[in-house]
Structure 1
């Protein structure tokens, strides 16, 4: 009877196959970390006019012609992510560390006696562009809002109904979190009013976003270098969350059930592939000065989502006599969808002090408001695209500054990075600031490099996507140590 009543209240709506999409879903693939080789990381990725490093191809593909010989490198890194959360005055900390083989590649240099186009380079590189391994734990006492309103919203917001919306409402109904009023089209929460809801949310993410690059570049009279990358992107992402709530408020009036505890578990698995390209140029107007200009296209992804949900409740005054209702959904497999990330343009300048060292500067621009999910005819994707257009910046800047000093076989490096928030109002997600440093030793035909990077950013984290707009303030600090072995051959 309960299932039939809920189904009839939703039947008047044309149901479509749609999933829940959050703003961070598009930003997950649009925000880029400084990854790759230790030398690249130690100088905060300021390589747009330098080249001569396999990771620099991701900034400017023309840089591969600055290798003097055939060259290969392999890199391993340890990433430590520290998250400090503040939720209604309650503070928590969580750490996660992971070790990855994050870069592997080679470049082949072909020189000729031809007067004009005197050098061609072919490069192949794989990089783990983003490591998704992370843990966040939030807890505190919410004085106003219960997560039960999430299920009320999905039961009552008919104009946004879908197969997914029906499933959310059905879970809440079967677990006695919601019930209809005298009007069967209107549902209310069985969580008693009174505030002071204890809430805790444990979020764990795993996975990676990798990029395989095929590069070609050519040098014209050692004055102009041109390059092209074709990139294949591979992504695999799992987000698991366990949201808990309890209360000790006065019981609801019979026959309405009184819900004392809720635990709502979600696991989202996203996987797919993408394609992008880079073009770039580097000019040497004088021997020790280099100017670079490059363009990175949007990445066009084809993604798939799978969702598993569990819902547990503890209740009293239950008309069916069940004390601990439990609901486990089957795996929901959603149709393949598309995501387009923003393009990126970069201007660069570098000055080389003969054999002593160098200094390099990059500035990049992105239009985050152009993030787009498809098909556009899907109301869920249309709404999130409108959100991006209205609330994200169309001219977000990133600056990277790096330097290197050489002493005998040793190289000492340092860097600075600043990235503007993708939001017009940066309280939702703040600016990113990062620092880096490193050392290298040249053995002649091979080289060993070590780098350390630190970056931090603040942002807001919703405990649940609908029903309550309360957020935890998260400060994420990432510390990374990278070791690279390189060889000339």
Structure 2
């Protein structure tokens, strides 16, 4: 992922123009951070993630808070979770697999059931508090192959900007002054821009104009050895989660109408490290590449309101709606380039130098997530003694995602907001996710199964992945036991997803893409006590 656009270096040594950012990256982040598949306890996950028209579970705190109105006794529950992520990565006609496992606390909840009033149409009220993890980002991508296209290298990204102004529009002196060598004998230097880092590592060189001085040499810049085949390897590690603390209250009117409201304090933590390494075959460099690191932290809040209505004992319907989560975000993006020589000439030029660290970028912005609404029904078999079947439709307004900044320059703020919004409108679409599930009861035993269809939120084909191929079908199941004192539930869910990742962007023919098939399995154990 490239976070900031490489600047166009001007003729004056002190002037380096950095663009505000790659607006598509922020639109992609808004989607990535809010692409939920399942949440809640093992009971609700085992039945497909249905939460609109079911009650009496800690999942209601973050789902439909009206379901807390079904509680007639207090409860404490803990739900540890394991995520198994396996990626199959096809890159340059070669396939590699990578696996990553993550342990987390998926849900931690406490519900206080109120006393039933002696004379009131309101039969009971309940209050709940929970910690829940809605989205886990743990992923590992590892791809490798031989790129036969001589024009396909990430170094050409820098040449596009450097050479866009014509001959000598950028002087060697500008890059030289943006590059700071390390101490004598040090292997690490620093640079203001990635272009200056590539220059300092002798990955790019200026055209010589007569005088052969840094004041006179300059664009067009070029790669010393452009006509070589390269082995390329891309690794990307993602960690972090989208989680929230939620406080909910619900009431029960005559055991027919259940109303609830909740408020959440959300926390977002995302870390990504991506390394692209190129090894020229029979070139002067043994290998060179770059490492990108992105750290994102966010804090936000949202509100949810819901209702469940039971017209008859064996049937109930539910509705809930959640405001967008309004986040304040802070990110740090850092990048380093590295190079190791093979020929004696390059090794002599580099000396001890092997790594150039580019000045990091800190950026703060606001993020508004999609509006969400859910509706569904539950039918109880045998009056609830045999079990139930349930279904839900979740509406997610991805086209409503927004970002904004708070700079002194009003025009900069307006441009950033408008540009990200345009990318969102062009790339994403609103969707309706469909879920269905069932539970069968036999004495204290519970058997559960569910399925969810999550259509693609993409309007366009992106990174050589067709938009329709990004849809997902989540299969889930579970088993549990429950008596008057405690319960224990286990659930498992599985789905596959396709995605594309381009390590750099040139013209279409020269941009390689990693085609990834991501298989995710979640196993959760929920343990609870009634009191």
- Scaled by the length of structure 1, what TM-score is found? 0.89
* 1:124 counterpart (129, 136, 155): 129
Q: Does 1:109 align with 2:113?
A: yes
Partner of 1:369: 399
Partner of 2:159: 152
On the 8 A contact 1:269/1:305 being kept in 2, the answer is yes
Partner of 2:481: 441
C-alpha displacement at 1:333, in angstroms? 4.5
C-alpha displacement at 1:470, in angstroms? 2.3
1:351-402 Cα deviation digits (max 9, x unpaired): 1112110011011112222222212727566433321111211x21211111
Q: What is the DSSP-based 3-state SS (H/G/I as helix, E as strand, rest coil) of the residue aligned with 1:417?
A: strand
1:13-48 Cα deviation digits (max 9, x unpaired): 765665776243222212013133111111121121
Assess, with a 3 A threshold, how the Cα gap between structure 1 residues 135 and 191 changes in structure 2: closer, same or farther: farther
Alignment partners' CA distance in 1, 2:432 and 2:245: 26
Q: What is the DSSP-based 3-state SS (H/G/I as helix, E as strand, rest coil) of the residue aligned with 1:101?
A: strand
* 2:498 counterpart (458, 465, 468): 458
On the 8 A contact 1:155/1:166 being kept in 2, the answer is no
Assess, with a 3 A threshold, how the Cα gap between structure 1 residues 120 and 357 changes in structure 2: closer, same or farther: same
Partner of 1:476: 518
C-alpha displacement at 1:261, in angstroms? 2.6
Alignment partners' CA distance in 2, 1:191 and 1:85: 31
Partner of 2:375: 347
* Structure 2: unaligned runs, 5 residues or longer: 1-7, 166-177, 179-190, 210-215, 406-411
* 2:356 counterpart (305, 328, 342): 328
* 1:417 counterpart (452, 465, 473): 452
Question: Is 11-20 or 99-108 further displaced after alignment?
Answer: 11-20
Assess, with a 3 A threshold, how the Cα gap between structure 1 residues 388 and 21 changes in structure 2: closer, same or farther: closer
On the 8 A contact 1:19/1:380 being kept in 2, the answer is no
Partner of 1:338: 366
On the 8 A contact 1:456/1:477 being kept in 2, the answer is yes
1:265-324 Cα deviation digits (max 9, x unpaired): 122111121111111111112111111111111111111112232211235555982267
Alignment partners' CA distance in 2, 1:348 and 1:384: 33
Q: Does 1:278 align with 2:281?
A: no
Partner of 2:428: 392
Question: Is 199-208 or 457-466 further displaced after alignment?
Answer: 457-466
On the 8 A contact 2:201/2:356 being kept in 1, the answer is no
* 2:145 counterpart (140, 155, 167): 140
Alignment partners' CA distance in 2, 1:296 and 1:206: 26
Partner of 2:185: none
C-alpha displacement at 1:142, in angstroms? 2.4
On the 8 A contact 2:66/2:308 being kept in 1, the answer is yes
Alignment partners' CA distance in 1, 2:446 and 2:254: 29
Alignment partners' CA distance in 2, 1:389 and 1:10: 39
Give runs of aligned pairs for residues 225-240 of structure 1, distance below 5 A.
225-240=258-273
On the 8 A contact 1:310/1:326 being kept in 2, the answer is no
On the 8 A contact 2:131/2:243 being kept in 1, the answer is yes
Partner of 1:255: none
Partner of 2:443: 408
Q: Does 1:223 align with 2:230?
A: no
Give the length in aligned residue pairs.
472
Alignment partners' CA distance in 1, 2:450 and 2:393: 14
C-alpha displacement at 1:342, in angstroms? 0.8
Alignment partners' CA distance in 2, 1:466 and 1:119: 63
Alignment partners' CA distance in 2, 1:34 and 1:146: 39
On the 8 A contact 1:180/1:187 being kept in 2, the answer is yes
Partner of 1:299: 325
Alignment partners' CA distance in 1, 2:303 and 2:136: 21
Question: Is 396-405 or 182-191 further displaced after alignment?
Answer: 182-191
- Scaled by the length of structure 2, what TM-score is found? 0.82
Partner of 2:339: 313
Q: What is the DSSP-based 3-state SS (H/G/I as helix, E as strand, rest coil) of the residue aligned with 2:350?
A: coil
